[in-house]
Amino acid sequence: MSKDTGFSITSAERYSLALYELSSESNVLIQIEEQCLSVLGLINSNEDFKNLIKDPTTKQDDLLKIIHSISEKYRFENLFKNFLNFLIKKRRFFFLERILKSFIETCSEKRGELKAELKSAKELSNDEINNITEELTKNFSSKIKLNYKYDKSLIGGLILQVGSTMVDTSIKNKLQQIENKMIEA
């Protein structure tokens, strides 16, 4: 097992849980969650920022200055700003994206939300997605956090996964099953 995988499994969850507990105790959990989503959005949309995080040659002082300016621009809570500075000083800033994603997942779990993935061959409207989410919420007796993706490679149908339960009605899957049966015969 590589060190990278080891960190992602254990340390990222510990850092994110510590941030969750501090945010909860300070009654700024909602704000911190929004700010984490903002930073994740920045990582996904800005290649320079993503490269900066991943670059081990960037000096700590430079990172601290950059985080300070980003914190000022986005008006981060002091707790979140201090957490980011802590990660830089402990040389864990490289894992920022994993830690923040783990934090978002922790928040979702603590609210009792179930994570669901939906892929469809036809692009669904917001109303259709909302109806599916409401129906899943009723069926699973828990709030559902649905991640929707349009995937034309499915040819037709959809794939739904809620926790460990998976329903695959895609034509792609059915063709794969037919192919497997033909190979076995």
Backbone angles phi, psi at 144, to 5 degrees: -110, 130
Give per-residue pLDDT as tens, 135-173. 988 988 888 889 999 999 999 988 999 877 899 989 999
Residue-wise over 151-160: b if at least 16 C-beta within 10 A, else e? beebeebbbb
pLDDT of res. 8: 62
Q: Is 3's pLDDT higher than 60?
A: no
Backbone angles phi, psi at 162, to 5 degrees: -120, 110
Q: pTM, whole model, 2 decimals? A: 0.71
pLDDT of res. 9: 63
| Amino acid, res. 83 | F
More confident residue, 115 or 96: 96
Please give the Cα distance from 84 to 88 (Å, whole number). 6
Helix axes 78-89, 96-110, angle to 10 degrees: 140
| pLDDT confidence tier of residue 6, bands split at 50, 70 and 90 | low
| Amino acid, res. 34 | E
pLDDT of res. 78: 96
Please give the Cα distance from 92 to 96 (Å, whole number). 7
Give per-residue pLDDT as tens, 35-55. 999 999 999 999 999 999 988
Give per-residue pLDDT as tens, 51-97. 999 888 889 999 999 999 999 988 999 999 999 999 999 999 989 99
